[in-house]
A = this chain, B = another copy of it.
């Protein structure tokens, strides 16, 4: 060993152990006390940065300094997604086995772009994703022993983009990837579909003008007849319809589009059917909720997020495809430096061709740990419990003279509002979030400000839901009419 080799700034094995234990303890304590912390961070813009040193350190510091700064500087700026009082957006759940899976993935530090760069990462991923096909009773055509398959992606945004790209290539005989886009391709989704589809239209070069927002019924579900009408009009006008997205559980209101009817129309016109069940897909682990996937046999692709409601920490999205050749044909580029015997043999999957990034970490580990720790029955128990709590919350809303439900509650998202108009709802939203005791977010339904109560955080129990409702009622009752008149200052303008 040379003199220079003897100098090392790497963390020693003993220090890694010591600080690893400390951090494991820190996380255990954090999750134990997280419900006592203000859910929504109460800091002002710039407050965190102002406490960080201007210059990077010239010389290394003890790791204890980092942990101390996490406590003193970082934690006040955290919005606690793992608090059982987090009812905002959709959850981004974590759990003990998922955190440990992420730790092991970081420790192994492999990069699984090719089968050869860690065969176990690819094969465990294929295996666990086939388990999901079975656990959710998804159409057989997504299983890896068919022409289809599944891959872990970062987010549903990535999956939806891949679906749109595949549809674009199928519709243009795989010429767009070579020659560039040259015709007006049109896509369809309900006007309640997630904004990630608008973003995918931008990225793929199709343009947001060519995404048709199909009208919805009173329950915020796509009206299939309107889809048919819009396709007919586009065909007459010389556009080329190529893609339709059905949503199983919209972000705004959890509306479930009629996938079967949409699928029938897609099939007749040769459109790619993509089904987005980012949040709600997990419910299908319970047989009694599998009806949400009625019609999924028509789907060319399907996406849902274990990182939302299946206790597997972000990021872990699953993208299912009917014909994997189409996806690979859309995205594959093979430079010399990635060629290898296993790939050439055709006997292996190289997941790098299944999504936008080239590199990929070993995310199947945490999903494997979660499924094995909970078992199917354990997962079902908690999903059922969340849905039951949401139904209970919805019943409280219904019984209250001043509140109303703003949409059906098929699963675990309750959309509701005070009957007094936008101003009082904005006031309730701001007041309960400012209290730090809970965090909810909003949407607009039927052009009215609507409060969203998403019940799905790993550690949420009845008492948290009860306390949230009590606080909402209390704030509503004590709001003086003066402070919440339509003319009063509002922290968020309506569009």
Known contacts A23-B100, A56-B371; A356/B157 CB under 8 A: yes
Highest count of chain B CB atoms <10 Å: which of A98, A104, A345:
A104
Q: Which B-chain residue is minimally distant from A443 (CB atoms)?
A: B337
B106–A347 contact, CB under 8 A? no
Give the number of copies in the complex.
2
Interface string of A52-93 (1 = CB under 8 A from B): 100111111101011000100111111111100000010011
A41 in the interface, Cβ–Cβ < 8 Å?
yes
Q: Select which of B19, B340, B372 is within 8 A of A66 by beta carbon.
A: B372
Q: How far is the CA of A178 from the CA of B82 in the complex (A)?
A: 37
In the complex, residue of chain B having the shortest beta-carbon distance to the beta carbon of A111: B92
Q: Tell me whether B358 and A157 are in contact (CB under 8 A).
A: yes
> Once the chains are docked, how many angstroms separate the CA of A330 from the CA of B81?
29
A20 to B8, CA, bound (A): 27
Tell whether A195 is near chain B: CB-to-CB under 8 Å. Answer: yes
CB neighbors of B among A325-379 (8 A): 330-331, 333-342, 344-345, 347-348, 356-359, 361, 365, 368-369, 371-379
Closest A-B pairs by Cβ, 10 of them: A205-B205, A77-B120, A11-B96, A180-B207, A9-B378, A20-B24, A27-B107, A94-B109, A102-B106, A48-B123
> Cβ of A75: which chain B residues have Cβ within 8 Å of it?
120
Known A-B contacts A100-B19, A202-B177; the reply to A107 vs B57 at CB < 8 A is no
**Interchain Cβ contacts under 8 Å between A and B, 7 examples:** A10-B459, A16-B96, A99-B109, A157-B357, A161-B356, A315-B361, A341-B491
Residues of chain B lying within 8 A (CB to CB) of residue A120:
41, 43, 48, 73-78
Partner of A82, one of B99, B109, B334, B347: B109
Query: Which of A289-334 touch B at CB < 8 Å?
Result: 307, 313-315, 330-331, 333-334
Other A-B contacts than A45-B119, A81-B109, A202-B333, 6 sampled, CB-CB below 8 A, are A46-B123, A59-B376, A74-B124, A79-B116, A102-B106, A157-B359
Assess whether B345 is in contact with A5, with CB atoms less than 8 Å apart.
Answer: no
> Is A280 positioned at the interface, with any CB of B under 8 Å from its CB?
no
Any B CB within 8 A of the CB of A137: no
Q: Are B374 and A195 within 8 A (Cβ)? A: no
Among B98, B375, B385, B388, point to the contact of A58 (Cβ < 8 A). Answer: B375
| Residues of B with C-beta under 8 A to A8 | 382
- Which of A126-134, A255-263, A402-410, A472-480 contacts the other chain? A126-134
Query: Which residues of the other chain, B, contact A108 by a CB distance below 8 angstroms?
Result: 30, 78, 82
Contact A195-B74, Cβ < 8 Å, known A111-B314, A373-B63: no
Name A205's contact: one of B82, B206, B339, B340 (CB within 8 Å): B206
Is the Cβ of A45 less than 8 Å from the Cβ of B347? yes
Residue of B at shortest CB range from A445? B336
Whether, in the assembled complex, A196 has its beta carbon less than 8 Å from a beta carbon of chain B, the answer is: yes
In the complex, what distance in Å separates the CA atom of A441 from the CA atom of B342? 14
CB of A198 closer than 8 Å to a CB of B: yes
Q: Contact at A110–B79, with CB atoms within 8 Å? A: yes
Residue of B nearest to A253 (CB): B337
